[in-house]
C-alpha cells in the first residue's frame, strides 16, 4: 500500500465508480487498503446524498423579465446620460468658439472702448448666472466636472488680469483686452452649460 493518499480527482472517481482509466483502477485498489482514503470517499458519498436531498427552490414568479427590464432601463439611461454629457461639452465648446470668433472681429473701437465692452459683457454673464442661481442647483457628476474646469480657467484668467496691471499702458490695454475676451468666452460657456443642463432636466 502506498503511503500517499489519493487526490480529489481520484477520490471522486472512486465515489462515482469510475474505472475508465488505469489511474482510477489503481485508486479503487488503494481505497480498499487505505482507511483514511476510504473514510474520505464515505464523506464524499454523504455530501452528495445531502445535496440531492435538498429541496429545489423556485421563485414564486419568474423574475427574469423584471431583471431583463431593469438591465434594459439602466443601459438606455446610461446611453442617454452619455449623449447628454457629450451635448453639454459640445455646447460649451461651441459657445467658446462662437464668442471667440465674434470677439476676434470687433467693431473698430479704440483699446479702452473695447476693454469696457468686454468687461460689461462679462458682468452681464455673471448677473445671468446669479439670476439663474447656479450655485444652488443640483448637477450630475459629469456636469460638475465641466463647471469646475470652466471656473478654474476663469480663475486663472483673473489671476493673469491682476498681473497685467504691471505692464505699461499700451501693452497692458492690449493684453487685458485679450484676457477679457477669453474670460467672456469662458463665462458664456459656463452659462451655456448650466442652461443646457436645465433644458435636459426639464425634458
Cβ atoms of 4 and 30 closer than 8 Å: no
Does the pLDDT at position 60 exceed 70?
no
**Cα dist. 112→116, 177, 184 in Å?**
6, 8, 16
- DSSP per position, 139-201: --HHHHHHHHHHHHHHHHHHHHHHHHTTS-HHHHHHHHHHHHHHHHHHHHHHHHHHHHHHHHH
| pLDDT (mean) for 37-62 | 66
Q: What is the DSSP letter of 20?
A: S
**What gap in Å lies between CA 77 and CA 164, rounded to an integer?**
47
| pLDDT (mean) for 59-86 | 48
**What gap in Å lies between CA 66 and CA 43, rounded to an integer?**
41
**Cβ neighbours around 177 below 10 Å, total:** 23
pLDDT digits (tens, 9 = 90+) for 122-177: 888 888 877 776 566 666 677 778 888 888 898 898 888 888 767 777 787 888 88
**What gap in Å lies between CA 100 and CA 158, rounded to an integer?**
18
Distance between start and end Cα atoms, the chain: 80
Percent of the chain with pLDDT over 90: 10
**Cα dist. 173→120, 157, 179 in Å?**
16, 15, 10
Does the pLDDT at position 22 exceed 50?
yes
| pLDDT (mean) for 96-120 | 63
Q: Which three cell numbers stand for residue 188?
A: 458664456
Does the pLDDT at position 56 exceed 60?
no
Does the pLDDT at position 83 exceed 50?
no
pTM: 0.44
| pLDDT at residue number 96 | 54
- Number of H helices and number of E strands within the chain? 7, 0
Does the pLDDT at position 36 exceed 60?
yes
The number of C-alpha atoms within 13 Å of 54 and in the hemisphere containing its C-beta is 8
Amino acid at each position: 500500500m502506498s503511503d500517499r493518499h489519493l487526490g480529489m480527482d481520484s477520490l471522486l472517481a472512486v465515489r462515482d465508480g469510475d474505472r475508465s482509466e488505469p489511474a482510477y483502477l489503481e485508486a479503487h485498489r488503494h481505497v480498499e487498503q487505505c482507511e483514511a482514503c476510504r473514510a474520505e470517499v464515505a464523506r464524499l458519498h454523504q455530501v452528495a446524498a445531502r445535496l440531492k436531498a435538498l429541496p429545489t427552490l423556485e421563485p414564486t414568479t419568474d423574475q427574469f423579465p423584471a431583471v431583463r427590464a431593469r438591465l434594459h432601463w439602466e443601459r438606455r439611461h446610461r446611453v442617454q446620460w452619455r449623449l447628454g454629457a457629450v451635448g453639454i461639452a459640445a455646447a460649451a465648446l461651441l459657445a467658446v468658439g462662437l464668442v471667440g470668433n465674434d470677439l476676434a472681429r470687433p467693431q473698430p473701437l479704440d483699446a479702452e472702448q473695447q476693454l469696457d465692452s468686454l468687461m460689461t459683457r462679462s458682468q452681464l454673464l455673471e448677473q445671468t448666472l446669479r439670476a439663474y442661481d447656479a450655485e444652488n442647483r443640483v448637477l450630475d457628476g459629469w456636469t460638475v466636472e465641466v463647471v469646475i474646469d470652466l471656473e478654474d480657467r476663469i480663475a486663472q484668467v483673473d489671476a493673469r488680469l491682476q498681473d497685467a496691471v504691471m505692464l505699461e499702458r499700451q501693452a497692458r490695454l492690449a493684453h487685458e483686452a485679450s484676457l477679457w475676451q477669453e474670460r467672456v468666452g469662458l463665462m458664456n460657456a459656463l452659462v451655456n452649460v448650466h442652461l443646457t443642463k436645465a433644458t435636459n432636466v426639464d425634458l
